[in-house]
Chains A and B, each alone.
Chain A
Protein backbone atom coordinates (compact mmCIF):
# COMPACT_ATOMS: atom_id res chain seq x y z
CA UNK A 1 0.00 0.00 0.00
CA UNK A 2 1.36 3.41 -1.00
CA UNK A 3 0.41 6.14 1.50
CA UNK A 4 0.55 9.76 0.46
CA UNK A 5 -0.46 13.25 1.49
CA UNK A 6 -1.53 15.26 -1.56
CA UNK A 7 -2.14 18.98 -1.86
CA UNK A 8 -3.17 20.15 -5.33
CA UNK A 9 -3.15 23.87 -4.77
CA UNK A 10 -3.80 26.68 -7.23
CA UNK A 11 -0.18 27.63 -7.20
CA UNK A 12 1.72 24.45 -6.49
CA UNK A 13 1.07 20.73 -6.31
CA UNK A 14 2.68 19.13 -3.31
CA UNK A 15 2.86 15.47 -2.36
CA UNK A 16 4.58 13.63 0.46
CA UNK A 17 5.19 9.94 1.12
CA UNK A 18 7.59 8.85 3.83
CA UNK A 19 10.81 10.79 3.49
CA UNK A 20 10.06 11.78 -0.12
CA UNK A 21 8.29 14.90 -1.26
CA UNK A 22 7.64 16.70 -4.51
CA UNK A 23 6.54 20.23 -5.25
CA UNK A 24 5.90 21.73 -8.69
CA UNK A 25 3.74 24.47 -10.22
CA UNK A 26 0.11 23.37 -10.69
CA UNK A 27 0.29 23.91 -14.41
CA UNK A 28 -0.15 21.50 -17.32
CA UNK A 29 0.29 22.37 -20.97
CA UNK A 30 0.43 21.06 -24.49
CA UNK A 31 3.44 18.84 -25.13
CA UNK A 32 5.00 19.62 -28.51
CA UNK A 33 7.90 17.55 -29.80
CA UNK A 34 11.09 19.32 -28.80
CA UNK A 35 13.50 19.28 -31.69
CA UNK A 36 16.69 19.83 -29.73
CA UNK A 37 17.74 18.38 -26.38
CA UNK A 38 20.86 19.72 -24.77
CA UNK A 39 23.02 17.07 -23.18
CA UNK A 40 24.86 19.75 -21.27
CA UNK A 41 21.95 21.02 -19.20
CA UNK A 42 20.42 17.87 -17.85
CA UNK A 43 17.70 19.47 -15.72
CA UNK A 44 16.31 21.28 -18.75
CA UNK A 45 17.53 18.80 -21.33
CA UNK A 46 14.48 16.59 -21.08
CA UNK A 47 10.82 17.36 -20.44
CA UNK A 48 8.73 14.48 -19.12
CA UNK A 49 5.57 13.90 -21.13
CA UNK A 50 2.48 12.56 -19.34
CA UNK A 51 -0.33 11.00 -21.38
CA UNK A 52 -3.73 10.67 -19.73
CA UNK A 53 -6.87 9.71 -21.70
CA UNK A 54 -4.94 9.91 -24.99
CA UNK A 55 -3.88 13.54 -24.37
CA UNK A 56 -0.25 14.40 -23.79
CA UNK A 57 0.91 17.06 -21.38
CA UNK A 58 3.96 18.68 -19.91
CA UNK A 59 3.61 19.34 -16.19
CA UNK A 60 4.92 21.97 -13.78
CA UNK A 61 8.14 23.75 -14.73
CA UNK A 62 8.29 21.84 -18.05
CA UNK A 63 4.84 23.25 -18.99
CA UNK A 64 5.81 26.78 -17.92
CA UNK A 65 8.94 26.54 -20.05
CA UNK A 66 7.73 24.72 -23.17
CA UNK A 67 3.91 24.82 -23.48
CA UNK A 68 2.13 27.51 -25.46
CA UNK A 69 -1.27 26.59 -24.01
CA UNK A 70 -1.09 26.31 -20.24
CA UNK A 71 -3.89 25.19 -17.94
CA UNK A 72 -4.09 25.63 -14.16
CA UNK A 73 -6.74 24.18 -11.86
CA UNK A 74 -8.35 27.55 -11.27
CA UNK A 75 -11.46 28.06 -9.19
CA UNK A 76 -13.85 25.55 -7.82
CA UNK A 77 -14.13 23.34 -10.91
CA UNK A 78 -10.66 22.01 -10.15
CA UNK A 79 -12.23 19.16 -8.16
CA UNK A 80 -13.76 17.80 -11.37
CA UNK A 81 -11.16 18.62 -13.99
CA UNK A 82 -8.83 16.46 -16.05
CA UNK A 83 -6.08 18.81 -14.89
CA UNK A 84 -6.47 17.24 -11.48
CA UNK A 85 -5.99 13.73 -12.94
CA UNK A 86 -2.76 14.76 -14.68
CA UNK A 87 -1.37 16.51 -11.59
CA UNK A 88 -2.27 13.49 -9.43
CA UNK A 89 -0.48 11.06 -11.75
CA UNK A 90 2.56 13.35 -12.06
CA UNK A 91 2.80 13.90 -8.29
CA UNK A 92 2.58 10.22 -7.34
CA UNK A 93 4.89 9.24 -10.18
CA UNK A 94 7.46 11.73 -8.86
CA UNK A 95 7.18 10.08 -5.43
CA UNK A 96 7.90 6.70 -6.99
CA UNK A 97 4.53 4.95 -6.79
CA UNK A 98 4.95 1.43 -8.13
CA UNK A 99 3.05 0.43 -11.24
CA UNK A 100 -0.06 -1.48 -10.17
CA UNK A 101 0.23 -0.31 -6.57
CA UNK A 102 -2.73 0.36 -4.25
CA UNK A 103 -2.79 3.96 -3.01
CA UNK A 104 -4.40 5.66 -0.01
CA UNK A 105 -4.52 9.45 0.13
CA UNK A 106 -5.34 12.31 2.45
CA UNK A 107 -5.88 15.66 0.78
CA UNK A 108 -7.49 19.01 1.56
CA UNK A 109 -9.99 21.55 0.30
CA UNK A 110 -10.33 25.24 1.17
CA UNK A 111 -12.59 25.66 4.19
CA UNK A 112 -15.30 27.52 2.29
CA UNK A 113 -15.50 24.76 -0.36
CA UNK A 114 -15.35 21.88 2.03
CA UNK A 115 -18.82 20.74 0.98
CA UNK A 116 -17.21 19.71 -2.36
CA UNK A 117 -15.33 16.87 -0.65
CA UNK A 118 -17.49 13.98 -2.00
CA UNK A 119 -16.89 15.21 -5.57
CA UNK A 120 -13.17 15.50 -5.00
CA UNK A 121 -12.94 12.06 -3.39
CA UNK A 122 -14.93 10.53 -6.24
CA UNK A 123 -12.59 12.10 -8.80
CA UNK A 124 -9.46 10.87 -7.04
CA UNK A 125 -10.67 7.32 -6.32
CA UNK A 126 -10.24 4.41 -8.70
CA UNK A 127 -7.93 3.13 -11.37
CA UNK A 128 -5.47 5.60 -12.95
CA UNK A 129 -3.88 4.59 -16.22
CA UNK A 130 -1.30 6.87 -17.82
CA UNK A 131 1.94 6.98 -19.77
CA UNK A 132 5.20 8.60 -18.76
CA UNK A 133 7.28 9.27 -21.89
CA UNK A 134 5.35 6.53 -23.66
CA UNK A 135 5.71 3.94 -20.90
CA UNK A 136 2.45 2.65 -19.42
CA UNK A 137 1.92 3.00 -15.66
CA UNK A 138 -1.10 2.46 -13.47
CA UNK A 139 -2.14 2.60 -9.84
CA UNK A 140 -5.39 2.26 -7.98
CA UNK A 141 -6.55 4.85 -5.44
CA UNK A 142 -8.18 2.63 -2.86
CA UNK A 143 -9.25 5.19 -0.26
CA UNK A 144 -9.28 8.98 0.12
CA UNK A 145 -9.92 11.27 3.08
CA UNK A 146 -10.55 14.97 2.46
CA UNK A 147 -9.95 17.37 5.34
CA UNK A 148 -10.22 21.18 5.54
CA UNK A 149 -6.95 22.47 4.06
CA UNK A 150 -5.47 24.15 7.16
CA UNK A 151 -5.93 21.00 9.21
CA UNK A 152 -2.92 19.61 7.38
CA UNK A 153 -0.76 22.16 9.18
CA UNK A 154 -2.51 21.37 12.46
CA UNK A 155 -1.86 17.64 12.03
CA UNK A 156 1.76 18.44 11.17
CA UNK A 157 1.99 20.23 14.52
CA UNK A 158 0.45 17.53 16.69
CA UNK A 159 1.38 14.23 14.97
CA UNK A 160 4.77 12.55 14.65
CA UNK A 161 6.01 10.87 11.46
CA UNK A 162 4.33 7.59 12.47
CA UNK A 163 0.95 9.25 13.08
CA UNK A 164 1.19 9.35 16.90
CA UNK A 165 -0.05 12.36 18.81
CA UNK A 166 3.26 13.86 19.91
CA UNK A 167 1.95 17.18 21.15
CA UNK A 168 -0.96 16.52 23.48
CA UNK A 169 -0.85 20.06 24.85
CA UNK A 170 -1.48 21.51 21.42
CA UNK A 171 -4.04 18.82 20.54
CA UNK A 172 -6.01 19.63 23.68
CA UNK A 173 -5.73 23.36 23.19
CA UNK A 174 -7.66 26.04 21.37
CA UNK A 175 -5.55 26.38 18.27
CA UNK A 176 -6.03 28.61 15.24
CA UNK A 177 -4.41 27.87 11.89
CA UNK A 178 -3.67 30.36 9.11
CA UNK A 179 -2.75 28.87 5.75
CA UNK A 180 -1.63 31.52 3.25
CA UNK A 181 -1.70 29.80 -0.11
CA UNK A 182 -1.43 31.08 -3.68
CA UNK A 183 -5.06 32.16 -4.30
CA UNK A 184 -6.79 31.64 -0.96
CA UNK A 185 -5.99 32.20 2.68
CA UNK A 186 -7.66 29.63 4.90
CA UNK A 187 -8.41 29.99 8.57
CA UNK A 188 -9.38 27.14 10.88
CA UNK A 189 -9.99 26.74 14.58
CA UNK A 190 -9.69 23.55 16.62
CA UNK A 191 -10.81 23.45 20.23
CA UNK A 192 -9.71 20.25 21.91
CA UNK A 193 -9.78 18.48 18.55
CA UNK A 194 -13.25 19.79 17.73
CA UNK A 195 -13.48 21.72 14.48
CA UNK A 196 -15.06 25.12 15.21
CA UNK A 197 -17.01 26.26 12.15
CA UNK A 198 -17.60 29.82 13.33
CA UNK A 199 -13.87 30.30 13.83
CA UNK A 200 -12.99 29.01 10.36
CA UNK A 201 -13.23 30.41 6.84
CA UNK A 202 -11.43 31.42 3.65
CA UNK A 203 -10.80 34.60 1.71
CA UNK A 204 -9.81 34.75 -1.97
CA UNK A 205 -6.72 36.82 -1.19
CA UNK A 206 -3.24 35.38 -0.79
CA UNK A 207 0.14 35.40 -2.52
CA UNK A 208 -1.36 35.79 -6.02
CA UNK A 209 -2.85 39.10 -4.87
CA UNK A 210 0.64 40.18 -3.77
CA UNK A 211 2.13 39.03 -7.07
CA UNK A 212 -0.61 40.81 -9.08
CA UNK A 213 0.13 44.09 -7.32
CA UNK A 214 3.85 43.62 -7.94
CA UNK A 215 3.31 42.63 -11.59
CA UNK A 216 1.28 45.81 -12.13
CA UNK A 217 4.05 47.93 -10.62
CA UNK A 218 6.77 46.12 -12.61
CA UNK A 219 4.76 46.65 -15.82
CA UNK A 220 4.38 50.33 -14.98
CA UNK A 221 8.03 50.90 -14.04
CA UNK A 222 9.80 48.75 -16.61
CA UNK A 223 7.14 47.68 -19.13
CA UNK A 224 7.77 44.00 -18.39
CA UNK A 225 4.78 41.64 -18.18
CA UNK A 226 5.19 38.84 -15.65
CA UNK A 227 3.00 35.89 -14.69
CA UNK A 228 2.34 35.13 -10.99
CA UNK A 229 4.81 32.23 -11.16
CA UNK A 230 7.50 34.53 -12.60
CA UNK A 231 6.91 37.10 -9.85
CA UNK A 232 7.02 34.27 -7.31
CA UNK A 233 10.47 33.30 -8.59
CA UNK A 234 11.62 36.92 -8.51
CA UNK A 235 10.53 37.18 -4.85
CA UNK A 236 12.46 34.03 -3.98
CA UNK A 237 15.61 35.27 -5.69
CA UNK A 238 15.10 38.88 -4.54
CA UNK A 239 15.57 40.37 -7.98
CA UNK A 240 14.24 40.72 -11.49
CA UNK A 241 16.50 41.01 -14.49
CA UNK A 242 15.59 43.44 -17.23
CA UNK A 243 17.84 43.69 -20.28
CA UNK A 244 20.56 41.99 -18.26
CA UNK A 245 20.32 44.44 -15.36
CA UNK A 246 19.37 43.27 -11.88
CA UNK A 247 16.67 45.17 -9.96
CA UNK A 248 15.86 44.42 -6.31
CA UNK A 249 12.20 43.61 -5.63
CA UNK A 250 12.18 43.78 -1.80
CA UNK A 251 10.59 47.24 -1.65
CA UNK A 252 7.88 46.31 -4.16
CA UNK A 253 7.25 43.12 -2.23
CA UNK A 254 6.91 44.84 1.15
CA UNK A 255 4.53 47.42 -0.26
CA UNK A 256 2.32 44.71 -1.83
CA UNK A 257 2.43 42.63 1.37
CA UNK A 258 1.24 45.65 3.38
CA UNK A 259 -1.73 46.13 1.07
CA UNK A 260 -2.84 42.50 1.20
CA UNK A 261 -2.12 42.19 4.92
CA UNK A 262 -4.96 44.64 5.71
CA UNK A 263 -7.50 42.09 4.44
CA UNK A 264 -5.74 39.07 5.91
CA UNK A 265 -5.55 40.53 9.39
CA UNK A 266 -9.12 41.82 9.09
CA UNK A 267 -10.40 38.28 8.52
CA UNK A 268 -8.28 36.89 11.37
CA UNK A 269 -9.63 39.56 13.71
CA UNK A 270 -13.21 38.87 12.59
CA UNK A 271 -12.76 35.15 13.42
CA UNK A 272 -10.53 35.22 16.52
CA UNK A 273 -10.43 38.82 17.76
CA UNK A 274 -7.22 39.65 19.59
CA UNK A 275 -6.61 35.93 20.19
CA UNK A 276 -6.30 36.12 23.97
CA UNK A 277 -8.06 32.74 24.33
CA UNK A 278 -5.90 31.00 21.70
CA UNK A 279 -3.15 28.64 22.92
CA UNK A 280 -1.34 28.80 19.61
CA UNK A 281 -1.67 30.22 16.11
CA UNK A 282 -0.14 27.82 13.62
CA UNK A 283 1.02 29.36 10.33
CA UNK A 284 1.60 27.44 7.11
CA UNK A 285 1.41 27.72 3.34
CA UNK A 286 3.81 29.29 0.86
CA UNK A 287 2.78 32.75 2.09
CA UNK A 288 3.79 31.98 5.69
CA UNK A 289 7.36 32.97 4.89
CA UNK A 290 6.12 36.43 3.88
CA UNK A 291 3.28 37.05 6.35
CA UNK A 292 4.68 35.10 9.33
CA UNK A 293 6.30 38.08 11.05
CA UNK A 294 3.17 40.23 10.58
CA UNK A 295 1.05 37.46 12.09
CA UNK A 296 3.53 37.14 14.94
CA UNK A 297 3.18 40.84 15.71
CA UNK A 298 -0.61 40.36 15.88
CA UNK A 299 -0.54 37.03 17.74
CA UNK A 300 2.68 36.47 19.72
CA UNK A 301 1.75 32.81 20.22
CA UNK A 302 2.44 32.12 16.51
CA UNK A 303 4.22 28.86 15.76
CA UNK A 304 5.40 27.51 12.40
CA UNK A 305 3.72 24.21 11.55
CA UNK A 306 6.92 22.51 10.41
CA UNK A 307 9.54 24.62 12.14
CA UNK A 308 12.30 25.55 9.74
CA UNK A 309 10.93 23.32 6.98
CA UNK A 310 9.32 24.67 3.80
CA UNK A 311 6.02 26.16 5.04
CA UNK A 312 4.53 25.40 1.60
CA UNK A 313 4.84 21.70 2.40
CA UNK A 314 3.44 21.85 5.95
CA UNK A 315 -0.16 20.99 5.03
CA UNK A 316 0.96 18.12 2.87
CA UNK A 317 3.28 16.73 5.53
CA UNK A 318 0.32 16.83 7.91
CA UNK A 319 -1.95 15.10 5.39
CA UNK A 320 0.67 12.35 5.11
CA UNK A 321 0.98 11.90 8.88
CA UNK A 322 -2.80 11.76 9.19
CA UNK A 323 -2.94 9.25 6.31
CA UNK A 324 -0.45 6.99 8.09
CA UNK A 325 -2.61 7.17 11.18
CA UNK A 326 -5.96 6.78 9.43
CA UNK A 327 -5.11 4.06 6.93
CA UNK A 328 -2.63 1.97 8.86
CA UNK A 329 -1.84 0.91 12.34
CA UNK A 330 0.89 3.47 13.09
CA UNK A 331 2.76 2.72 9.91
CA UNK A 332 2.13 -1.04 9.85
CA UNK A 333 0.15 -0.88 6.67
CA UNK A 334 -1.36 -3.91 4.93
Chain B
Protein backbone atom coordinates (compact mmCIF):
# COMPACT_ATOMS: atom_id res chain seq x y z
CA UNK B 1 0.00 0.00 0.00
CA UNK B 2 1.17 3.50 -0.85
CA UNK B 3 0.01 6.60 0.99
CA UNK B 4 0.27 10.00 -0.64
CA UNK B 5 -0.22 13.29 1.17
CA UNK B 6 -1.32 15.96 -1.27
CA UNK B 7 -1.41 19.55 -0.18
CA UNK B 8 -1.49 22.93 -1.84
CA UNK B 9 1.08 25.30 -0.41
CA UNK B 10 -0.88 28.30 -1.65
CA UNK B 11 -3.56 27.61 0.99
CA UNK B 12 -3.12 28.25 4.75
CA UNK B 13 -3.88 24.56 5.48
CA UNK B 14 -1.32 23.41 2.93
CA UNK B 15 1.29 25.76 4.35
CA UNK B 16 0.63 24.40 7.84
CA UNK B 17 1.11 20.82 6.66
CA UNK B 18 4.20 21.81 4.74
CA UNK B 19 5.75 23.62 7.70
CA UNK B 20 4.96 20.69 9.98
CA UNK B 21 6.68 18.28 7.60
CA UNK B 22 9.66 20.65 7.32
CA UNK B 23 10.02 20.59 11.11
CA UNK B 24 10.44 16.84 11.11
CA UNK B 25 14.03 15.68 11.23
CA UNK B 26 13.21 12.86 8.86
CA UNK B 27 10.18 13.30 6.64
CA UNK B 28 9.75 9.62 5.74
CA UNK B 29 10.12 8.69 9.41
CA UNK B 30 7.37 11.16 10.29
CA UNK B 31 5.06 9.70 7.65
CA UNK B 32 5.89 6.16 8.75
CA UNK B 33 4.92 7.08 12.30
CA UNK B 34 1.62 8.50 11.06
CA UNK B 35 0.90 5.26 9.23
CA UNK B 36 1.83 3.18 12.28
CA UNK B 37 -0.46 5.36 14.40
CA UNK B 38 -3.25 4.87 11.88
CA UNK B 39 -2.87 1.19 11.07
CA UNK B 40 -5.11 -0.35 13.66
CA UNK B 41 -8.41 0.76 12.35
CA UNK B 42 -10.84 -0.45 9.75
CA UNK B 43 -11.01 3.08 8.42
CA UNK B 44 -7.34 3.67 7.87
CA UNK B 45 -7.78 6.83 5.81
CA UNK B 46 -9.78 8.50 8.56
CA UNK B 47 -7.19 7.51 11.14
CA UNK B 48 -4.35 8.89 9.02
CA UNK B 49 -6.22 12.18 8.77
CA UNK B 50 -6.74 12.27 12.54
CA UNK B 51 -3.14 11.27 13.24
CA UNK B 52 -1.91 13.97 10.90
CA UNK B 53 -4.17 16.61 12.41
CA UNK B 54 -2.97 15.68 15.88
CA UNK B 55 0.63 15.76 14.75
CA UNK B 56 0.25 19.18 13.15
CA UNK B 57 -1.80 20.83 15.82
CA UNK B 58 -3.95 19.12 18.39
CA UNK B 59 -6.24 22.12 18.55
CA UNK B 60 -7.03 22.17 14.84
CA UNK B 61 -9.82 19.94 13.62
CA UNK B 62 -10.77 19.44 9.98
CA UNK B 63 -7.45 20.77 8.71
CA UNK B 64 -6.59 17.75 6.61
CA UNK B 65 -9.19 16.58 4.14
CA UNK B 66 -9.44 13.15 2.58
CA UNK B 67 -8.46 14.63 -0.78
CA UNK B 68 -5.07 15.29 0.74
CA UNK B 69 -4.64 11.63 1.68
CA UNK B 70 -4.62 9.20 -1.20
CA UNK B 71 -4.40 5.49 -0.52
CA UNK B 72 -3.09 3.28 -3.26
CA UNK B 73 -4.09 -0.33 -2.59
CA UNK B 74 -1.64 -1.97 -4.96
CA UNK B 75 1.18 -3.96 -3.39
CA UNK B 76 4.85 -3.82 -4.12
CA UNK B 77 5.12 -6.87 -6.41
CA UNK B 78 8.61 -7.82 -5.26
CA UNK B 79 7.64 -7.65 -1.58
CA UNK B 80 4.42 -9.55 -2.20
CA UNK B 81 6.26 -12.35 -4.00
CA UNK B 82 8.81 -12.58 -1.20
CA UNK B 83 6.13 -12.74 1.47
CA UNK B 84 4.20 -15.44 -0.40
CA UNK B 85 7.32 -17.60 -0.58
CA UNK B 86 8.25 -17.05 3.06
CA UNK B 87 6.50 -20.04 4.65
Contacts and interface: CB of A to CB of B under 8 A. Distances in A.
Is this pair of chains taken from one and the same complex? yes
Given A165-B1, A165-B75, A166-B44, A145 B87 contact: yes
Residue of A160, A166, A195, A322 with most chain B CB atoms under a 10 A cut-off: A166
A193 B82 CA distance: 7
Contacts of A194: 82
A255 interface: no
Nearest to B75: A165
B84 to A, nearest CB: 8
B72 to A, nearest CB: 11
Contacts of A326: 84
Contacts of A146: 87
B46 to A, nearest CB: 14
A333 interface: no
Contacts of A170: 32, 36
B73 A172 contact: no
Interface of A: 145-147, 151, 157, 160-161, 164-172, 192-195, 303, 306-309, 322, 325-326
A169 B32 contact: yes
Contacts of B87: 145-147, 151, 322
A309 B73 contact: no
Interface string B53-76: 000000000000000000001011
A171 B40 contact: no
Contact of B83 (A161, A171, A303, A309): A171
Given A164-B1, A165-B1, A165-B76, A303 B82 contact: no
Contacts of B32: 169-170
Contacts of B23: none
A94 B18 CA distance: 50
A326 B73 CA distance: 18
A164 to B, nearest CB: 6
A309 B79 contact: no
A168 B40 contact: no
B11 interface: no
A169 B87 CA distance: 20
B21 interface: no
B10 interface: no
Nearest to B80: A165
Given A160-B1, A161-B42, A164-B1, A303 B79 contact: no
A193 B1 contact: no
Given A147-B87, A160-B1, A307-B40, A167 B82 contact: no
Contacts of B28: 169
Contact of A166 (B1, B82, B86): B1
B85 to A, nearest CB: 9
Contact of A193 (B36, B40, B44, B79): B79
Contacts of A325: 83-84
Nearest to A19: B42
- The 10 A-B pairs of least Cβ separation, nearest first, read A307-B40, A193-B82, A166-B1, A147-B87, A165-B75, A169-B32, A168-B76, A171-B79, A193-B83, A165-B79
Given A164-B1, A166-B1, 15 more contacts: A157-B39, A161-B42, A164-B73, A165-B75, A165-B80, A168-B79, A170-B36, A171-B76, A172-B76, A192-B82, A193-B83, A306-B40, A307-B39, A308-B40, A326-B84
